[in-house]
Each structure stands twice: as structure tokens, then as C-alpha cells.
Amino acid sequence: LDAFYARFEGLVEALLLNPNFFGYCYTQLTNIEQEQNGVFTYDREPKFDAEKLHAIQTQTAAFEKDPVLVVEKPESVEWKVVVEPAHDQGPGTEWRYTTDNPAEGWERPGFDDKQWKTSQAGFGDRGKKLLSTRWDTEDIWLRREFEVQDVSFERAAALIFYDNKTEVYVNGELIWEKGSWNNAYEVFDVTEALKGKLKEGTNTIAVHTHQDEGGQYIDVGLFLGR
């Protein structure tokens, strides 16, 4: 047995001294007569001193002493929804919208949108599972107000499903635009674009989407992270 323990310790040390080796596993079937060479008998009794085997295998591995890869803990961000996308909106969450080319300044706070229609997101044609409002013209313009009590934030993100070309404004300032389409909900980092554009109290988000051909859809959500 002493010779076995010595060979076993040598094998374990060779494995643990390898800086690129992360771990190993020994598996033995029990209640199988063919398993003659395992560390347990047929009826699950250990053939060797389990404490000795444990002591040999609990040495500090080279990888533990000097990891070749350091994984940093991801930044913890608490997100708050300030503009609800379609799947988060409540019964009273409505956008004002028009499919007629609006007057200059339509994206700014204070613009008179009383003649615009009101409805819920998302806006588009058939086939979109979060479709609330039918839109089948070339262009649509959207506006709504949202409240922010604390304008400080570490991160800002927009969740947008756009088809096609879309621009998003906050308080009259462009914070995001894309051509073409993405055909699915996608998160975009707007941290830098949104800095200095929010104010305490009532804010205005405005969206314009232009459709060329094929399917069409627009839905926008805005999130602040602290």
C-alpha cells in the first residue's frame, strides 16, 4: 500500500503543479463486478485509507497560487425603467403619435401635440407579438412625457426594436439614431448621449421612424442605472 500511496501522490502532484490544469475527476461504478481496479469494493467499502487520499489531493494547486486568468466581479448596476417598452407598460401608458409630417420643433418639450392621436406601444404592421397600434404608413412620429426625480446615473440604456430608420430625442436633443432595422429588441448604451439632457421632474422623449419596405415596427424603452 505504501508504494501505491507514493505513486498516487506523485500523479496528483504532477497534475496540480501544471499551471494550466483546473481540476480532475475520478468516477467509479459501484455494484459492478467488472470494476475490480477501483478504490471501492463491490459493496462500496473503501479499499484504501480515505483520509490519506484526501490529504494528498487537497494540496494547493499551482493555478490557485498564481491564476493565469483573473475574472473581475462584474459591476453591479440597479436599473430603473423611466420609459416603459411595450412589455412593461401599464394600462395608462400612452404615446402621442402622428403619421403626418409635423411642424418644426416636434421633438422639443412644450410642442403642441394635442391634435396627435394617443395609443400604446408597439407601433407597426402585422406579425409583431407586442403590437398594440397599427402603423402602415411611411413615417411615424411619437412623443410622450416621463418623470425623473433624480437625474444622476452611472449608466443609461435604450431598449429598441426598430424597422426601419429611427431617431430618438430626449428634451429636444438627439440621443440615438440608426438606419436599416434590427428586427428584434436590442439594448443600446446611451450613457454618454444622455448626460446633461435630463432634468428633474417632467421630461420629453420623441421618436421618428421611417419605413422603406417590408415589415415595420417601433418600440422604445429607456433605463437608468445607478
- Domain regions of the chain by residue span: 2-65, 79-225
Q: At 178, which amino acid appears?
A: K
Kindly calculate the radius of gyration of the chain based on its CA atoms and give it in whole angstroms: 31
4-55 confidence digits (pLDDT tens):
888 888 888 888 888 777 777 777 777 766 666 677 777 778 888 888 888 9
E strand intervals along the chain:
79-83, 95-98, 117-119, 123-124, 133-134, 139-148, 155-163, 166-170, 173-178, 186-189, 201-210, 217-225
Of residues 72 and 178, more confidence is placed in 178
Share of the chain above pLDDT 70, in %: 94
> Does residue 99 carry a pLDDT above 90?
yes
**Are 8 and 59 within 8 A, CB to CB?**
no
Q: What angle do CA 207, 138, 125 make, to 5 degrees?
A: 85
CATH 3.40.720.10 corresponds to the domain 79-225: no
pTM of structure? 0.68
pLDDT given at position 8? 85
Instruction: Check residue 27 and give its pLDDT.
Output: 75
Mean pLDDT of the region 48-73: 81
The 10s digit of each residue's pLDDT in 126-137 is 776 689 999 999
Find the length of the chain: 226
Q: Which residues have CB under 8 Å from 106's CB, separation 6+?
A: 113, 141, 143, 206
Query: pLDDT tens across 179-209, in order?
Result: 989 988 999 999 999 999 999 999 999 999 9
